[in-house]
A and B are shown apart, each in its own frame.
Chain A
Amino acid sequence: AQTVTQSQPEMSVQEAETVTLSCTYDTSESDYYLFWYKQPPSRQMILVIRQEAYKQQNATENRFSVNFQKAAKSFSLKISDSQLGDAAMYFCAWEGQTGANNLFFGTGTRLTVIP
Protein backbone atom coordinates (compact mmCIF):
# COMPACT_ATOMS: atom_id res chain seq x y z
CA ALA A 1 0.00 0.00 0.00
CA GLN A 2 1.07 3.55 -0.62
CA THR A 3 1.91 5.63 2.44
CA VAL A 4 2.48 9.34 2.76
CA THR A 5 4.22 10.76 5.81
CA GLN A 6 4.24 14.33 7.02
CA SER A 7 6.48 14.52 10.06
CA GLN A 8 5.71 18.12 11.02
CA PRO A 9 2.27 18.37 12.68
CA GLU A 10 2.70 22.14 13.09
CA MET A 11 4.90 24.82 11.61
CA SER A 12 5.01 28.58 11.98
CA VAL A 13 6.52 31.32 9.86
CA GLN A 14 6.86 35.07 10.09
CA GLU A 15 4.95 37.03 7.49
CA ALA A 16 7.13 37.63 4.39
CA GLU A 17 9.54 34.86 5.36
CA THR A 18 10.04 31.44 3.75
CA VAL A 19 8.95 28.10 5.14
CA THR A 20 9.43 24.52 3.96
CA LEU A 21 6.98 21.71 4.68
CA SER A 22 8.26 18.14 4.47
CA CYS A 23 6.68 15.04 2.93
CA THR A 24 7.96 11.55 2.25
CA TYR A 25 6.13 8.71 0.59
CA ASP A 26 6.53 5.03 -0.09
CA THR A 27 5.57 3.34 -3.33
CA SER A 28 6.79 0.61 -5.62
CA GLU A 29 5.35 2.32 -8.68
CA SER A 30 7.55 4.30 -11.03
CA ASP A 31 4.93 6.60 -12.50
CA TYR A 32 2.69 8.70 -10.29
CA TYR A 33 1.65 12.21 -9.34
CA LEU A 34 2.30 14.15 -6.16
CA PHE A 35 0.25 17.03 -4.83
CA TRP A 36 0.10 19.63 -2.11
CA TYR A 37 -3.41 20.62 -1.06
CA LYS A 38 -4.33 23.49 1.27
CA GLN A 39 -7.30 23.29 3.63
CA PRO A 40 -8.10 26.63 5.32
CA PRO A 41 -10.14 26.50 8.54
CA SER A 42 -13.75 25.55 7.78
CA ARG A 43 -13.12 25.87 4.06
CA GLN A 44 -12.70 23.39 1.28
CA MET A 45 -9.49 21.79 0.15
CA ILE A 46 -7.80 23.43 -2.81
CA LEU A 47 -4.88 22.34 -4.95
CA VAL A 48 -1.65 24.26 -4.39
CA ILE A 49 0.76 22.48 -6.72
CA ARG A 50 1.26 19.16 -8.55
CA GLN A 51 4.32 17.25 -9.71
CA GLU A 52 4.55 14.42 -12.23
CA ALA A 53 7.07 11.79 -11.18
CA TYR A 54 8.53 11.44 -14.67
CA LYS A 55 9.47 15.11 -14.75
CA GLN A 56 12.79 15.98 -13.17
CA GLN A 57 12.05 19.69 -13.13
CA ASN A 58 10.52 20.87 -9.89
CA ALA A 59 7.06 22.42 -10.20
CA THR A 60 6.53 26.09 -9.36
CA GLU A 61 3.34 28.11 -8.89
CA ASN A 62 4.03 31.73 -8.03
CA ARG A 63 5.25 31.75 -4.39
CA PHE A 64 4.96 27.97 -4.07
CA SER A 65 7.62 25.55 -5.26
CA VAL A 66 8.53 21.95 -4.59
CA ASN A 67 11.75 20.02 -4.09
CA PHE A 68 11.07 16.60 -5.61
CA GLN A 69 13.68 13.95 -4.90
CA LYS A 70 12.41 10.77 -6.56
CA ALA A 71 15.16 8.45 -5.36
CA ALA A 72 14.69 9.61 -1.80
CA LYS A 73 10.88 9.61 -2.18
CA SER A 74 10.76 13.11 -0.82
CA PHE A 75 8.45 15.94 -1.86
CA SER A 76 8.76 19.17 0.12
CA LEU A 77 6.82 22.40 -0.36
CA LYS A 78 8.49 25.79 -0.09
CA ILE A 79 6.34 28.86 0.48
CA SER A 80 8.14 32.13 -0.18
CA ASP A 81 7.09 35.58 1.01
CA SER A 82 4.52 34.02 3.36
CA GLN A 83 1.20 35.82 3.67
CA LEU A 84 -1.48 35.71 6.36
CA GLY A 85 -3.77 33.97 3.91
CA ASP A 86 -1.34 31.04 3.69
CA ALA A 87 -2.36 29.93 7.18
CA ALA A 88 -4.04 26.53 6.78
CA MET A 89 -3.60 22.77 6.99
CA TYR A 90 -1.37 21.53 4.19
CA PHE A 91 -1.73 17.97 2.96
CA CYS A 92 0.72 16.08 0.81
CA ALA A 93 -0.92 13.49 -1.46
CA TRP A 94 0.10 10.71 -3.85
CA GLU A 95 -1.84 9.42 -6.86
CA GLY A 96 -1.04 6.34 -8.91
CA GLN A 97 -1.54 5.86 -12.63
CA THR A 98 -3.83 2.85 -12.50
CA GLY A 99 -7.16 1.85 -11.03
CA ALA A 100 -9.15 4.40 -9.13
CA ASN A 101 -6.47 7.08 -9.25
CA ASN A 102 -7.58 7.96 -5.76
CA LEU A 103 -5.41 10.17 -3.61
CA PHE A 104 -3.43 8.91 -0.61
CA PHE A 105 -2.96 11.72 1.90
CA GLY A 106 -0.55 12.43 4.72
CA THR A 107 -1.76 13.55 8.13
CA GLY A 108 -1.18 17.20 7.36
CA THR A 109 0.89 20.11 8.65
CA ARG A 110 -0.81 23.05 10.30
CA LEU A 111 0.89 26.27 9.18
CA THR A 112 0.59 29.41 11.27
CA VAL A 113 1.67 32.75 9.82
CA ILE A 114 2.80 35.27 12.42
CA PRO A 115 2.16 38.94 11.55
Chain B
Amino acid sequence: DTGVSQNPRHKITKRGQNVTFRCDPISEHNRLYWYRQTLGQGPEFLTYFQNEAQLEKSRLLSDRFSAERPKGSFSTLEIQRTEQGDSAMYLCASSLGQRSSTDTQYFGPGTRLTVL
Protein backbone atom coordinates (compact mmCIF):
# COMPACT_ATOMS: atom_id res chain seq x y z
CA ASP B 1 0.00 0.00 0.00
CA THR B 2 1.61 3.20 -1.16
CA GLY B 3 -0.71 5.77 0.36
CA VAL B 4 -4.02 7.51 -0.15
CA SER B 5 -5.27 7.47 -3.73
CA GLN B 6 -7.99 9.52 -5.37
CA ASN B 7 -9.79 9.21 -8.68
CA PRO B 8 -10.21 10.92 -10.97
CA ARG B 9 -7.38 13.41 -10.67
CA HIS B 10 -9.18 15.94 -12.81
CA LYS B 11 -12.85 16.39 -13.64
CA ILE B 12 -14.41 18.97 -15.92
CA THR B 13 -18.17 19.16 -15.93
CA LYS B 14 -20.95 21.46 -16.97
CA ARG B 15 -23.04 23.31 -14.46
CA GLY B 16 -25.99 21.24 -13.30
CA GLN B 17 -24.33 17.86 -13.83
CA ASN B 18 -23.62 15.37 -11.05
CA VAL B 19 -20.08 14.23 -10.27
CA THR B 20 -18.64 11.53 -8.02
CA PHE B 21 -15.13 11.25 -6.64
CA ARG B 22 -13.50 8.25 -5.04
CA CYS B 23 -10.92 8.01 -2.27
CA ASP B 24 -9.01 4.87 -1.26
CA PRO B 25 -7.38 5.37 2.15
CA ILE B 26 -4.39 3.59 3.60
CA SER B 27 -5.69 0.12 4.33
CA GLU B 28 -5.45 0.00 8.12
CA HIS B 29 -6.72 3.55 8.65
CA ASN B 30 -10.06 3.86 10.43
CA ARG B 31 -10.64 7.57 9.84
CA LEU B 32 -11.23 9.20 6.49
CA TYR B 33 -11.58 12.94 5.93
CA TRP B 34 -12.74 15.06 3.01
CA TYR B 35 -11.44 18.62 2.60
CA ARG B 36 -11.98 21.26 -0.06
CA GLN B 37 -9.23 23.63 -1.19
CA THR B 38 -9.93 26.67 -3.32
CA LEU B 39 -7.30 28.75 -5.07
CA GLY B 40 -5.14 30.69 -2.64
CA GLN B 41 -6.64 29.07 0.42
CA GLY B 42 -5.78 26.25 2.76
CA PRO B 43 -7.92 23.12 2.83
CA GLU B 44 -11.26 23.35 4.65
CA PHE B 45 -12.89 20.44 6.43
CA LEU B 46 -16.03 18.97 4.85
CA THR B 47 -16.76 15.69 6.62
CA TYR B 48 -15.19 12.63 8.20
CA PHE B 49 -15.85 8.94 8.77
CA GLN B 50 -14.89 6.65 11.59
CA ASN B 51 -14.97 3.29 9.83
CA GLU B 52 -18.31 3.34 7.93
CA ALA B 53 -20.02 5.93 10.15
CA GLN B 54 -20.14 9.54 9.00
CA LEU B 55 -19.73 11.34 12.31
CA GLU B 56 -19.48 15.02 11.44
CA LYS B 57 -20.33 17.34 8.59
CA SER B 58 -19.18 20.92 8.12
CA ARG B 59 -21.66 23.67 7.33
CA LEU B 60 -19.78 23.90 4.03
CA LEU B 61 -21.35 20.58 3.04
CA SER B 62 -24.61 21.69 1.46
CA ASP B 63 -27.53 19.35 0.71
CA ARG B 64 -26.13 18.84 -2.78
CA PHE B 65 -23.14 17.02 -1.31
CA SER B 66 -23.26 13.47 -0.06
CA ALA B 67 -20.48 11.19 1.10
CA GLU B 68 -20.41 7.49 1.80
CA ARG B 69 -17.94 4.96 3.07
CA PRO B 70 -19.50 1.52 2.65
CA LYS B 71 -17.83 -1.22 4.66
CA GLY B 72 -15.37 1.28 6.08
CA SER B 73 -13.03 1.02 3.13
CA PHE B 74 -13.08 3.44 0.18
CA SER B 75 -15.23 6.56 0.23
CA THR B 76 -17.16 8.47 -2.41
CA LEU B 77 -18.10 12.13 -2.48
CA GLU B 78 -20.97 13.06 -4.80
CA ILE B 79 -21.96 16.57 -5.79
CA GLN B 80 -25.37 16.94 -7.37
CA ARG B 81 -26.39 19.80 -9.64
CA THR B 82 -22.90 21.26 -9.68
CA GLU B 83 -22.42 25.03 -9.53
CA GLN B 84 -19.43 27.11 -10.61
CA GLY B 85 -18.67 27.78 -6.96
CA ASP B 86 -18.01 24.07 -6.49
CA SER B 87 -14.84 24.38 -8.57
CA ALA B 88 -12.01 23.43 -6.22
CA MET B 89 -9.53 20.74 -5.29
CA TYR B 90 -11.17 18.01 -3.23
CA LEU B 91 -8.71 16.35 -0.89
CA CYS B 92 -9.05 13.09 0.97
CA ALA B 93 -7.00 12.19 4.02
CA SER B 94 -6.88 9.16 6.28
CA SER B 95 -5.53 8.39 9.71
CA LEU B 96 -5.47 5.57 12.23
CA GLY B 97 -7.97 7.44 14.39
CA GLN B 98 -6.05 6.81 17.58
CA ARG B 99 -5.44 9.63 19.98
CA SER B 100 -1.73 9.23 20.10
CA SER B 101 1.19 11.53 19.60
CA THR B 102 2.07 9.80 16.36
CA ASP B 103 -1.32 9.69 14.65
CA THR B 104 -1.20 11.74 11.48
CA GLN B 105 -3.50 12.53 8.59
CA TYR B 106 -2.06 11.40 5.26
CA PHE B 107 -3.38 13.18 2.21
CA GLY B 108 -4.17 11.96 -1.27
CA PRO B 109 -3.25 13.88 -4.44
CA GLY B 110 -6.72 15.39 -4.71
CA THR B 111 -9.37 15.64 -7.42
CA ARG B 112 -9.47 18.98 -9.19
CA LEU B 113 -13.03 19.85 -10.20
CA THR B 114 -13.77 22.50 -12.80
CA VAL B 115 -17.41 23.45 -13.34
CA LEU B 116 -18.04 25.30 -16.61
Contact = CB atoms under 8 A, between A and B. Distances in A.
Interface string A83-101: 0000000010100010111
Contacts, number: 53
A104 B3 CA distance: 22
Contacts of B55: 100
B33 A102 contact: yes
Nearest to B50: A100
B40 A107 contact: yes
Interface in A64-115: 91, 93, 97, 99-108
Interface stretch (B15-23, B62-70, B74-82, B100-108): B100-108
B90 interface: no
Interface string B37-63: 000111111001000000110000000
A52 B42 contact: no
Interface residues of A, number: 22
Contact of B41 (A45, A104, A107): A107
B101 A108 contact: no
Interface in A38-64: 43-47, 50, 52
Nearest to B5: A44
Contacts of A105: 42-44
A73 to B, nearest CB: 17
